[in-house]
Amino acid sequence: MSNREGSTTIVGRWIRGLRASALSLAIGANGMALGAEPAAQTAPEAVKDVGTSRTELRPLFNGKNLDGWYLFLQKYGRDSDPEKVVTIDDGILHAYKDARNGAEVVMGYIGTRESYSDYQFQLHYRWGKKQFKPRYLYKPDAGIYYHHVAKDVVWPQAMQFQLELNGVGDLMTVGAIKLDTTVDPATKTEEWQEYLAPERGGVPYETTGKGVSYTRKGENFERDGWNRLDLICKGDSALQMVNGHVVSRGTKIRQQDPNDPNRWIPLTGGRILIEFEASEISYRDIGIRKLAPDETLEAAAVRASASAKTGATDGH
């Protein structure tokens, strides 16, 4: 935990509680409360086949431009970047490269134009040295949204693979999405819980489907410099990995039925969004591969872990 946020668990939870409250307010302000935007929240009818090869990642980012992606920013909406939030140099996507440290900036993300399901998604990220308002006094923060089928807003309704300095891997839901996971019973509260695999003593836990839910990663595997993330999705389950280590997992991912607020339906795919949230950050080596029909989450995780140990990138 950084000095800016304090060194105690109580202070850290207080700050993250403020962020969760702000996110909940933003969700309501952007019309993403339960039952909002019914037509936009339905699952996509078709998802992109990421190729015939089941063994190698296909690049999603060409290292030159945002072909295949769209940009969404506060104030400016889609594909407008007058503040040059995003720059691309030498195969690296850099957020806030030219912004002055401490300046007020807009937040947003790039999103895939296609929707995906049953995949392994991989990227590498590296924190920069600058932090900006409105998050100048907070830890560096970003994230990967996935299963995004709703409208574009900052903090959209979706799953999220949380990136936070020394806290990478939290499993988040934003908006009317629920999931099942297993948590450490010693950390189980109404606000926060920590992921723990069932074979290590984790007990079942269901998120609420309201506002923002955090299931914190179990251990910290982030290191200085470049870090590798793997997101593996199969059916209505997802598994998140940091540098080859599984840090969180969710099953029975579901969203509120836009036609019946008392019914929840499986959420198995959608767009992938890479976020920038007022923290300097770079991304590279962004790729995806389709899982084989008989490939399990566990098998895909073993493969990802093995390639992470050797420094490989699963083929792309």
The CATH number given to whatever domain includes residue 159 is 2.60.120.560
Structural domain includes residue 315 = no
Encode pLDDT of 237-275 as tens digits.
999 999 999 999 999 999 999 999 999 999 999 999 999
Structural domain includes residue 232 = yes
Predicted pLDDT at 218: 82
Structural domain includes residue 57 = yes
Residue 161 reports pLDDT greater than 50:
yes
Predicted pLDDT at 189: 76
CA 162 to chain centre: 5
Nearest of 8, 13, 2 to residue 189 by alpha carbon: 13
Encode pLDDT of 6-22 as tens digits.
333 333 443 344 344 44
Mean per-residue pLDDT of the chain: 85
Whole-prediction pTM: 0.84
Residue 49 reports pLDDT greater than 50:
no
Distance, in Å, from the CA atom of 174 to the CA atom of 20, rounded to the nearest integer, reads: 10
Strand partners, 144: 161, 274
Contact 288, 60 (CB under 8 A): yes
Structural domain includes residue 77 = yes
Structural domain includes residue 316 = no
Predicted pLDDT at 167: 86
Range of the structural domain that residue 42 is part of: 3-310
Structural domain includes residue 42 = yes
Residue 31 reports pLDDT greater than 80:
no
* Residue environment code for 278-289, b if the CB has 16+ CB neighbours within 10 A, otherwise e: bbbbbbbbbbbb
Structural domain includes residue 228 = yes
Question: What total of structural domains would you count in the chain?
Answer: 1
Contact 147, 128 (CB under 8 A): no
Distance, in Å, from the CA atom of 231 to the CA atom of 119, rounded to the nearest integer, reads: 8
Predicted pLDDT at 313: 61
Structural domain includes residue 112 = yes
Instruction: Using alpha carbons only, give the angle 125, 127, 130 rounded to the nearest 5 degrees.
Output: 150
